[in-house]
Amino acid sequence: MADSLDQEPETKKVKEPPAQRKRKKTGKRSDPNYIQVGAYIPRTLNEDVKIKLVRHDGDFSDLITELLEKWVAD
């Protein structure tokens, strides 16, 4: 019984809150004028689009916006 009094109490590990973001939120994700949408397209089409966007330094969101704006204007 004396041994149990000699033991130090267990220390609980306190989780630190995640580090706060120090830079201003930028980009479409934090812009209230943009929303995220999703669509199912054929896998091979998606692969071809990604390849072409990389070759032409393009952005998928910009491509979709341009195509949809043209489609709506017709």
Count Cα atoms within 13 angstroms, Cβ side, for 55: 6
**Is the CB of residue 34 less than 8 Å from the CB of residue 28?**
yes
Residue 16: its pLDDT value, please? Answer: 79
49: exposed, middle or buried (Cβ count in 10 Å: 0-12, 13-18, 19+): middle
pLDDT by 10s per residue, the chain, length 74? 555 566 666 667 778 777 776 777 778 889 999 999 999 999 999 999 999 999 999 999 999 999 999 999 99
Q: Which of 28, 14, 32 is nearest to 64 (CA)?
A: 28
Residue 33: its pLDDT value, please? Answer: 94
Residue 8: its pLDDT value, please? Answer: 64
